[in-house]
Structure 1
Amino acid sequence: MLSTVTNLVRGALMGIAEVIPGVSGGTVALIVGLYQTLINAIANMVLALRQLVGIGTGKPSVRASAATFRALPWRTLIPVAIGMVVALVVGARFLEPLLEEHPVRMRALFFGLVLAGVYVPAHMVIRTSPGAWRVKDLAIGAVAAVFLFWLTGLPPGNIADPNPLVIVLAAAVAICALVLPGVSGSFLLLSIGMYETTISAVNERDFGYIALFGFGAVVGLGSFVTLLRWLLAHRARVTLVIITGLMVGSLRALWPWQTDDRDLLAPAGDVPMVLLLFAAGIVAVVGLILIERRLGISEEEEAETAKQ
C-alpha cells in the first residue's frame, strides 16, 4: 500500500512538472528515483509494439509481444501514470493562474527545485567509472549548459491555430522532455507558441487536439527513448554529464526576474519572499531525496525491478 501511494505521489510530481514551463518531468523522475525504471519500461513498450507488427523483429508475434508487456513493472507504472494524468489535469487548471498572477514567486520556487535537483545526476556521474568529475566532464557539461542557456533565452512564439501536422510534430519534440532531464516540454511548447493553445485544449476538453497531440507524443517518445536507453547502457557517464549540464542551463528559464521576451533582470520587488520560496524549493528536493533513501528506494533497485 505504501509503495502504491508513493508511486502515485511520484507520478503527480512529474505531472505537475510537465505543466510548468522550465521544469522537466525527467528532472523530477531523477529526483524521486524513477528515471531508469521509466526509460526501461517505455523502451520495452516500444519493443512490444514492434514485436506485435513485426518491425525489425522478423515476423509479427502476438505471443512475444504479450510476454514483453506482461514483464513490465505494472505495479509501479499504473499508479505513476494515474498520478501524472490527475496532476496534469488539475495542474493545468490551478497552476496556470498562479503562474500568471505570481510569475516571480513561482519561478523562484521552481528555480530552487531544479538547482537542488542538479545534485542527482551529478552524483550519479561520480558513481560511474572512473569516479570523480574530470576536466573533460566539466567541459562537456559546460557546452550542454551553454546550449540550453541560449535555447531558453529565445523569445516565445505564438501559434493560435496550429494545423494537425504542426500539433503532431510539436508533441513529438516536446514529449522528449518527459525523459530528458533539464529540457522542459512546456517550455518548448511556449517557445514555439503552442503552450497556451495546448493548456486551453486540456482545460476545454478538446479531444480532437488532445488525440493529435497524444499521437505525436507516442511517436516522439517511442523514437527517442530507445536511443536514450542505449546511451545510458553504453555511454552512461557522458550521458549523465550532459544531463547535468542541461539541468544547469535550464535554470535560465526559471530566473525569477525576467521580461516577457526572456531578457534577464536584476532582483527587485519583494526579494525576501522570493529568497524564501527559493529556499523552500531546495528544502523540498532535499526532503524528497532523503525520503527516497529512508524508504530504501534507489535508482539501482528501480532498474532491477524494471528488468524483472
Structure 2
Amino acid sequence: MEWRNIYRGFLMGISDLIPGVSGGTIAFLLGIYDRLLTSISGLFSKEWKKHIGFLFPLAVGMGLTLVLFSRVIKFLLANYFAPTQFFFIGLIIGILPFMAKQAKVKTTFKFHHYIVLLIVGVLLAMTAFISPADSTVITSLTPTSTLVLFLSGWAASTAMLLPGISGSFVLLLLGMYSTAISALSDFNIPIMIVIGLGVILGFVISSKIIHFLLNQHATLTFAIIIGLIVGSVFVIYPGIPESGTPFLMSSVALIMGLLVSNLFSPPEAESVKK
C-alpha cells in the first residue's frame, strides 16, 4: 500500500468540495494524473492488486476529507468566499507552467492546438454565466431520485478526472450540489451510497477513455486539458474584492495558492506516451 497517497487524497478531496476546482487538476499538480488513470482503468485487470495498493490510500484520504471537511468548506465559502476562491485560483495558475512543460508546448503545439485551447477555455469560462438548476435538497430516495443521483454522481466523477472541470460544479449545474453536501454533512448513508456508486462507475469508464486519448492523441488532449484549466480560473473568479481587509486576505490567499502549487509540483513531469 502506498500510504503517502492518503495526503494526496486529502488534497484532492478538498478541491472536489469546491465548485469550480477539479481534483484532476490537483492530481496533475501532484504528478500522479497518468498513474491515477492507469490504476482506475486497470482496477478490473489481472494486475488489480497493484492498482488497489495505489488507489485504496488515495480513496481513504479523499473519503475522510469529504466527510470531515464538508462543513469546514461550507463555513469557508459562507464566511470567506473570496479568499477561498483566490487560494484555488493561485493553485490553478501555478500549475500552468508545469502543464506547459509536460505537454512540451514549445515543440509540439501547432496553431490549431492553440485554437482548440482557446475555444475550450472560452466555452468553460462561459459556464460561469449559466444559472444552476433548482437545488432542492433530496433527503430520501425514490426510484426517480435514485436514478437522478446515480447519474449525477457519474457525471461528477467524469468531471473530477478532467483537470479544469469540477465535479462539484457539475453537481451545482445539475442542482445536486446541495444534496451531496448535505448528505456528507448529515451523514445520510443511502444518499451517499447512490451518488458514490455513480461516481465509481463513472471513474472506471471515463478513466479508460481519457487514458486512451492521452496515449493516442496526447498533444490535442493536452491542448484541451490546458484550455479547461485556464477556463476554470474564470469560473471560480469571485470578482475584485473590496478594499481593505477583504482585498488583503484575498491577495495573501492568492500568493499562498501559488506557493503551494510550486511546492507540490514535481520536478519532472510524469511520462505520457506521445
TM-score, reference length from structure 1:
0.80
Per-residue CA distance 1:154-180 (angstroms, 9 max, x = gap): 122223155111111111101112211
CA contact (8 A) 2:13 2:63 kept: yes
Give the match's secondary structure for 2:117: helix
Q: Pick from 288, 296, 302: which aligns with 2:264? A: 288
2:29 is matched with which residue? 31
Q: Does 1:210 align with 2:192?
A: yes
Per-residue CA distance 1:270-293 (angstroms, 9 max, x = gap): 32321121111111101111xx33
1:89 is matched with which residue? 67
Q: Pick from 238, 251, 270: which aligns with 1:256? A: 238
1:16 is matched with which residue? 14
Q: Pick from 77, 102, 105: which aligns with 1:124? A: 102
Q: Distance in 2 between matches of 1:23 and 1:159?
A: 19
Shift of the alpha carbon at 1:76?
A: 2.7
Q: Note the 1:12-91 alignment, pairs <5 A.
A: 12-45=10-43, 48=44, 67-70=46-49, 72-91=50-69
Shift of the alpha carbon at 1:8?
A: 1.8
1:59 is matched with which residue? none
Q: Does 1:159 align with 2:135?
A: yes
Q: Which runs of 5+ in 2 are unaligned?
A: 139-144
Q: Distance in 1 between matches of 2:56 and 2:152?
A: 26
Shift of the alpha carbon at 1:75?
A: 3.5
Shift of the alpha carbon at 1:132?
A: 4.7
CA contact (8 A) 1:121 1:241 kept: no
CA contact (8 A) 2:135 2:177 kept: no
Taking only aligned residues, the RMSD between alpha carbons, in angstroms, comes to 2.1
Give the direction of change, closer, same or farther, for the CA distance of 1:11–1:161 in structure 2 (3 Å limit): closer
Per-residue CA distance 1:162-208 (angstroms, 9 max, x = gap): 51111111111011122110000011111222111111101111111
- State the AA in 2 paired with 1:223: I
Per-residue CA distance 1:235-273 (angstroms, 9 max, x = gap): 01100110000010011122132xxxxxxxx44333232
Give the match's secondary structure for 1:160: coil
Q: Distance in 1 between matches of 2:151 and 2:53?
A: 32
Q: Which runs of 5+ in 1 are unaligned?
A: 49-64, 258-265
1:176 is matched with which residue? 158
2:76 is matched with which residue? 98
Q: Percent identity?
A: 30
Shift of the alpha carbon at 1:298?
A: 5.0
2:242 is matched with which residue? 268
Give the match's secondary structure for 1:183: coil
Per-residue CA distance 1:210-238 (angstroms, 9 max, x = gap): 11111211232222221111101100110
Q: Distance in 2 between matches of 1:152 and 1:26?
A: 19
Q: Pick from 74, 81, 86: which aligns with 1:108? A: 86
- Extract structure 1 runs of 4+ deviating beyond 3 A: none
Larger Rg over CA atoms:
1
Greater mean alpha carbon deviation, residues 79-88 or residues 23-32? 79-88
Give the direction of change, closer, same or farther, for the CA distance of 1:224–1:75 in structure 2 (3 Å limit): closer
- State the AA in 2 paired with 1:36: D
CA contact (8 A) 2:137 2:182 kept: no
Q: Does 1:191 align with 2:162?
A: no
- State the AA in 1 paired with 2:149: I
CA contact (8 A) 2:91 2:258 kept: yes
Give the match's secondary structure for 2:157: helix
TM-score, reference length from structure 2:
0.89
Per-residue CA distance 1:4-52 (angstroms, 9 max, x = gap): 33x221111011111111110000000001101110111112xx2xxxx
For this pair of structures, how many residues does the alignment match?
A: 265
- State the AA in 2 paired with 1:230: F
Give the match's secondary structure for 1:23: coil
Give the match's secondary structure for 1:159: coil
1:299 is matched with which residue? 270
CA contact (8 A) 1:153 1:252 kept: no
Give the match's secondary structure for 1:40: helix
Shift of the alpha carbon at 1:83?
A: 1.2
